[in-house]
Amino acid sequence: MRLPLVELHLHLEGTLEPELIFELAERNGVALPWGSLDELREQYAFSDLQTFLNLYYANLDVVRTRADFALLTTRYLERAAAGGVRHAEVFFDPQAHTSRGVELGEALGGVHDALQDGERTLGISSKLIVAFLRDRPAAEALDVLKQVLAGPVPVDGIGLDSAEVGYPPELFAEVFALGKANGLRLVAHAGEEGPPAYVWTALDLLGVERVDHGIRSLEDDALVQRLVDERMPLTVCPLSNVRLRVVETIADHPLPQMLELGLLVTVNSDDPAYFGGYIDDNMAALQEAFGLSAAQRALLARNGVEASFLDPAGKAQLF
Ligand code: ADE
Ligand code: ZN
């Protein structure tokens, strides 16, 4: 039986492929700073999270209309389905669009429509997590969350992403308290470039139910013990970690060690258009580097299902 692939850490904006950038630029009459696909692709050598984020935000200039957001989402779902994904819990960054004049309802509405269509036509169930940009003011995040809650598009959870160091989770305690009070599921990026202290405060002061990345938790034995004891999922993204220089090569990735420690690790793709691959490519890279056993592959699949926000019936359907 083919193991179910569940994607729990994917930024929809990070699925904007170079070809789609050119396609949308053409249809929206946007002049790109790149003369060709190859010239654009030359920009994809990143030295850290910030150099990646600079390009990620700049490229979004071409995504403008409700139809553009729907197309971005549909293209992702088609690629995910081809790679065997059965369920996806996707991040969307409203502030990356509202800050450049896009209406929140147009952006979220386009994404929501396409997710609904994808469930019907491709058989991929999904959840939508709006993520707040931690390098923008918490007051803005709170305002956006209130608009989302008052709007017509239902969302399942909230997250925290963008530049990590210098922006600790506790800055967003009020935002997460409001999300929780409204029944939203809570996740946050922590311990990607930031220290283990950020993972502690994401747990204690935001009350997150999953930690996105979290690989720097390995530097703190007491934290590892707590994550194991609480069966706290970590949504790990191996190819992202290599491309953003969190680890040197895939062979240096601590994923096997994390499994050995008993951490609830899941494999995910983060920003596949930028980091060289989707979730199936991440699995293939791990397989090649480590020769994962059948038991390890099955454990990763089970972890993905367990860590999802599906209800028990939804989880049972995946196996
Ligand atoms: N936004 C998109 N990808 C991200 C990542 N890997 N870390 C933080 N913020 C992001
Ligand atoms: Zn991420």
| 87 carries a ligand binding annotation | no
Above pLDDT 90, what percent of the chain? Answer: 99
Q: Which of 7, 8, 9, 11 to mutate to test the pocket of ligand 1 (most atoms within 8 A of CB)?
A: 11
Residue of 219, 223, 298 lying closest to 259 (CA atoms): 298
Q: What is the mean pLDDT of residues 181-193?
A: 98
Tell me the average pLDDT of the chain.
98
Q: Which structure tokens are listed for 207? A: 């009350």
Look up residue 124 and give its amino acid. I
Q: Give the confidence band of 167 by pLDDT, cuts at 50, 70, 90.
A: very high
Ligand 1 pocket, residue 4 CB under 6 Å: no
Mean pLDDT value of segment 16-23: 98
Show the DSSP H helices in the chain as ranges.
18-28, 37-41, 49-59, 66-82, 95-98, 104-122, 138-150, 173-181, 196-201, 221-229, 238-243, 255-260, 272-275, 279-290, 294-307, 312-318
Structural domain tally of the chain?
A: 1
Give me the residues near ligand 2 (ion), CB cutoff below 5 Å: 270
This prediction's pTM: 0.98
> CATH code at 119?
3.20.20.140
Task: Provide the domain limits for residue 64.
Answer: 5-318
pLDDT for 91-141, tens place per residue? 999 999 999 999 999 999 999 999 999 999 999 999 999 999 999 999 999
Helix %, strand %, coil % for the chain, to 5? 55, 15, 30
pLDDT higher than threshold 70 for residue 174: yes
- Is 49 touching ligand 1 by the criterion CB < 6 Å? yes
Catalytic residue numbers read: 192
CA of 250 to the centre of ligand 2 (A): 18
Name the band, by pLDDT with cuts 50, 70 and 90, for residue 1.
low
270 lines ligand 1 (CB under 6 A): yes
Q: Which residue has the tokens 């249809």?
A: 27
